[in-house]
A and B are shown apart, each in its own frame.
Chain A
Amino acid sequence: MIELQDLTRMFDGQPVVRDVSLTVEAGEIVTLVGTSGSGKTTLIRMINRLVEPSSGRVLIEGLDAASLPVHQLRRRIGYAIQGIGLFPHRSVAQNIATVPRLLGWPRARIEDRTDELLELFQLDPARFRDRMPHQLSGGQAQRVGTARALAARPDLLLLDEPFGALDPIIRAQAQTDLRAVQRRLGTTMILVTHDIDEAVLLGDRIAVMDAGRIVQYDRVARILAHPETDFVRAMTGGPEGVFRLLSLVAAAEIAEPGEAPGPPVDAATNLREVLSLCLSSGREALPLRSGGRVTLAAIRALAGRGGQ
């Protein structure tokens, strides 16, 4: 569990982060969204003390981060920097092995770990292990950067816009991969993004940041359904807002008994996809593989209630 208590950071007399308090439960993903310059990078850098807070504390498992030797703290916290920052003179494998090497892991274990991570991020170890960073595409470099942050199995992972350089298709793939990796390892994660869809897709909770403050911090569904300020509404709403809401609900949740024509879908399929299938195939309802059906009318009703 990570607790941020009243964190404030001043730069040149101006507060860049003001009075931020936030608790991240172990094993959860918190996505931090906000406009450019709102202080997201500064906030997460106070967690690994790349930026020292002007006031306030960071507690990791109840332990004050300021009480640990700073490099030991950082070796326990994975950090993928905005801008990647791979070491240009080291191969992909050596980049990934950075923290394990600092921690003095035995060679064989480091090699196993690098290969495992490369596979996890869909990079064939045989092809990529010995490449130099300048031989990678932007997207591959970003995945190596994330793998490097994960290498020593940190309790906490800080990711600063890890998918910024990816095209939509690769980006969706990388997001799914990251989610799968996180589910498998149970790593606590704070992920910075200014893409609200990414925040919704990856986050258990979303923290919305504006001008140095956290304006709302909640479970994803609640943020979408009950934006507390105009800023959050502008961020989460818009013409796409209702689809984001639907993407959070599984078909099973509004299933009803009955029959429907056409091929069936999985009970876990989200309502955004169900809606899209109904419209594209001209059907009023879809059958579920596990029995029962989902109707357009039920989806419409749910959307009308704001997802509740």
Chain B
Amino acid sequence: MMLRPATVFAILVGLGLWLPLVQFKPNRIAAGEGIRLDQALAGGPVIALAVLGLLVLSCIWRMPDRMRIVLALAGMAGSLVVLGHAARSLSVEAGNLARLAPASGFWLMLLGFSLMLADGVARLGPSLPARWLILGLVLVAGFGILASGMLDQISVMREYATRRAAFLHEAKRHLQLAFGSLGLALLVGLPLGTGIYMMRRLRGPVLAALNILQTIPSLALFGIMLPLLAWLAATLPAAGRWGVSGIGAFPALIALFLYALLPVVSNTLSGLETVPRATREAAVGLGMTRWQVLGQVLIPLALPSLIAALRIVLVQNIGLAVIAGLIGGGGFGTFVFQGLNQMAMDLVLLGTLPTIALALLAGIVLDLLIEHVARGRP
């Protein structure tokens, strides 16, 4: 028998209810103990039963999609609220040194509800404005819950509270790295992709070189760049003043840029290649100059592919920018590697959670933009 999606989501959330909601640690680095929803809160058993009831209902009765979306949104918000409350009431008993982190049950519930949301949205196929609206609602609700202080007793938020300024600084740096390398990759990759489209002979070598680049692990890449850039900074003082150095943000930017080059170049090429030959020849035959053919025919027709490249690269770079933390380049990676060094998982989460959220957000926003562009096309 095929499992219906609704059943799968229900099983996920159900499992989440049964697994520990929060992890309790007497102090920051001690071993933890899991606590279930029904143990964590006074009203816990009632809430768990109510949610279970709704889940069973969602399995046996085919809910309208709208209702499912509302249920999922409420579920996501509810999981956060319940987590915050549980943490608060537990911390009152345990004192200030204790740490309360979201545990497997919480993550499963969040996963189940967000899958339910994605599925509901996909099924309902709401109009583009409606989808922007849903995205906006989720963002506002998320920020609202964070700002309300409800989650302040959660360990990640406590890590955040002690590093507010550093967090904002690294967030800015993370975005600079991701967008900066994307900008560079577009600046170089679009002309390069167009160039090898026109000069067929260069295709093989260029793509091969980019492919090799793509397979070099980031640590090895830093290893190669370190002496090169250090030498460059030493011999050319001007370069040093521009921020060129063997470690820090500059090599991280270069690495991200190099990794982004292949997707940009290959998508540019494949986008241009989808333009039918007759269309291209008609453009030339009617008397368009090279640049007119490129600007009026080739690029507009390759646009969906170019935006797809933008999406791939942005999402990839937001995630990958974490490696900058390895070489003192800043960004959310700083917390990740600090946390790993100190064996403080809460600090690692402070780096990974915003990274994941940003990547998701960028992916969704660009998907919506792609649909805007794709409208009115065959």
Using a CB–CB cutoff of 8 Å, the interface residues on chain A facing chain B are 45, 48, 50, 71-76, 79, 81-89, 98-99, 102, 132-134, 145, 148-149
- Please report whether the interface of chain B is mostly helix, strand, loop or mixed according to DSSP: helix
Kindly state whether residue B210 has any CB partner on chain A within 8 Å.
no
CB pair A87–B279 under 8 Å, yes or no, is yes
27 contacts between A and B (CB under 8 A): A48-B285, A50-B281, A50-B284, A50-B285, A71-B289, A72-B287, A75-B287, A79-B282, A81-B282, A83-B278, A84-B282, A85-B276, A85-B277, A85-B278, A85-B280, A85-B283, A87-B279, A87-B283, A87-B297, A88-B276, A88-B279, A89-B377, A98-B286, A98-B288, A102-B287, A133-B378, A145-B282
User: Using Cβ atoms and an 8 Å threshold, which residues of chain B touch A72?
Assistant: 287
| Residues 284-303 (chain B) with a chain A CB within 8 angstroms | 284-289, 292, 297, 300-301
CB pair B285–A102 under 8 Å, yes or no, is no
Cβ distance A221 to chain B, nearest Cβ, rounded Å = 33
User: Using Cβ atoms and an 8 Å threshold, which residues of chain A touch B287?
Assistant: 71-76, 99, 102
Interface centre among B279, B285, B286, B376 (most CB of A within 10 A): B286
Cβ distance B141 to chain A, nearest Cβ, rounded Å = 39
Question: Interface range on chain B: under 10, 10 to 19, 20 to 34, or 35 or more?
Answer: 20 to 34
Cβ distance B86 to chain A, nearest Cβ, rounded Å = 55
**Cα distance A149–B281 when bound, in Å?**
13
User: Using Cβ atoms and an 8 Å threshold, which residues of chain B touch A132?
Assistant: 376, 378
Using a CB–CB cutoff of 8 Å, the interface residues on chain B facing chain A are 276-289, 292, 297, 300-301, 376-378
Extra contacts, 9 of them, besides A71-B288, A75-B287 (Cβ < 8 A), are: A74-B285, A82-B278, A83-B277, A84-B278, A88-B378, A99-B287, A134-B378, A145-B282, A149-B286
User: Using Cβ atoms and an 8 Å threshold, which residues of chain A touch B277?
Assistant: 83, 85
**Cα distance A84–B282 when bound, in Å?**
8
Closest residue of chain A to B377 (Cβ to Cβ) is A89
User: Using Cβ atoms and an 8 Å threshold, which residues of chain A touch B289?
Assistant: 71
Give me the 6 closest cross-chain CB pairs, A-B, nearest first.
A85-B282, A85-B278, A74-B287, A75-B287, A83-B278, A134-B378
User: Using Cβ atoms and an 8 Å threshold, which residues of chain B touch A85?
Assistant: 276-283
CB pair A81–B278 under 8 Å, yes or no, is yes
User: Using Cβ atoms and an 8 Å threshold, which residues of chain A touch B286?
Assistant: 74-75, 79, 98-99, 102, 148-149
**Cα distance A72–B286 when bound, in Å?**
9
Closest residue of chain B to A134 (Cβ to Cβ) is B378
